[in-house]
Structure 1
Amino acid sequence: MEISVQQIQSGNIKSFEQVYHQYHARLYYFVLKHTRSTYLSEEAVQLTFIKMWENRHRLSTQFDLSVQLFRIARSITIDLLRKERTAGSHIEVNADETMALSVETDIIHKDELNHVEALIEELSPVRKKVFRLSRFEELSHKEIAEQLSISPKTVENHIGRAIMHLKNKMVILLIILTKL
């Protein structure tokens, strides 16, 4: 189930817990890749979720929650690295690493979209056509049924099975990603 920004904004603790479990590992490895420090990674992830919760009313409904989480994590990571450097830790941060964090976030989201697109391509030709007409062209079940000369109930079945296929495959993908 996709957690909406509105659910978090309204203070729904269950939604927050789901977001925490869904993104904790991904955020951790995202930060770890750039800091090479388990301490900084743990700190950055915890601060990311704290900041998201404390500023939940300022979250934008125009962007996916994942995009906003990775932006918060990137900002916190940069702040932590700066503090480490000024504290004399000798962790060097240069403009290339800062840019890499931004590029990494973009790559993660493009990669997620590519995975979804690949999963859609796995659908049978008719189911794929029905799903695309419904979700990308925003046609009603009746309009799709008329266009493809099938019943609206068949359209509904195709969409339901396509969504089930995508959800099942995405759950498997998330499990694999969290174990990396």
Structure 2
Amino acid sequence: MESIVQDIKNGNIERFKMVYQQYHAKLYFYVLKCTHSAYLSEETVQLSFILLWERREKLSTSYNISAQLFRIAKSVMTDLLRKQQVRNRHTACMVQEQPDWHMETDITVKEELQQVYNSIEQLSPIRKNVFKLSRFEGLPHKEIARQLSISPKTVENHILRAVRQLKDSLLLVLILLIRHLL
């Protein structure tokens, strides 16, 4: 175990990729179990691996990589949950102070939600199917793989690419909206 931590501390990208492959799904399902949110799970996993790499020099060879990675993830998850709680409080205050704002927000949310559904429909048929089974029906990767006769790794790849594609398309919509408002 010490060698894995030391390799990552030394900047060994191949060892980092190996750790990513080994722990990505485990970390995702750990966070999903705690938060019941696919979005928070994705964000936590992504930020945890980014922090692991950015702060690799500070890793301790006294602890295995798994313990350190899950400690980072717990910290990131706690931070994201705190931020979400603050957003929810501010939204509640805005609704109380400006009831009209809530109606406008509801309309905006419905439009944004429609845009998300449109973006999902733009995915390739297999990717769209895998994504819907995962995110809408909550099936685990192994079950999706069994149903579609593909490997769990292929399921994971489809989901990761779908999320990336959705983020890109929604970012483009956001940019166009901002330009329109300016």
Q: Which structure features the higher share of helix residues?
A: 2
Q: What TM-score comes out, normalization by structure 2 length?
A: 0.49
